[in-house]
Amino acid sequence: MNILLVEDDAALAEATATAMRARGWRVDVSATGEPVARSVQQDDYDALVLDIGLPGVDGLETLRR
């Protein structure tokens, strides 16, 4: 499974990514919502794990884009 994880809390992002990778999943991590649209278009993700409370462009706005 190929997952894009968007989380601004570095410790939480690392712990979550580590747990997902332990299951054999490929995980890309982004700390902001800005590059998500480009990443989703360039890569073939099976799932997007998105923090709703992101700084700047929040998770809901990122999802709308």
User: Do 62 and 50 touch, CB atoms closer than 8 A?
Assistant: yes
> How far apart, in whole angstroms, are the C-alpha atoms of residue 14 and residue 5?
10
- With a cut of 90, say whether residue 2 has pLDDT above it: yes
Which residue reads 């794990």 in tokens? 49
Enumerate the domain spans of the chain: 2-64
pLDDT digits (tens, 9 = 90+) for 17-63: 999 999 999 999 998 877 776 777 777 899 999 999 888 888 888 88
CATH number for the segment(s) 2-64: 3.40.50.2300
Entry pTM: 0.85
- What pLDDT, in 10s, does the model give residues 3-13? 999 999 999 99
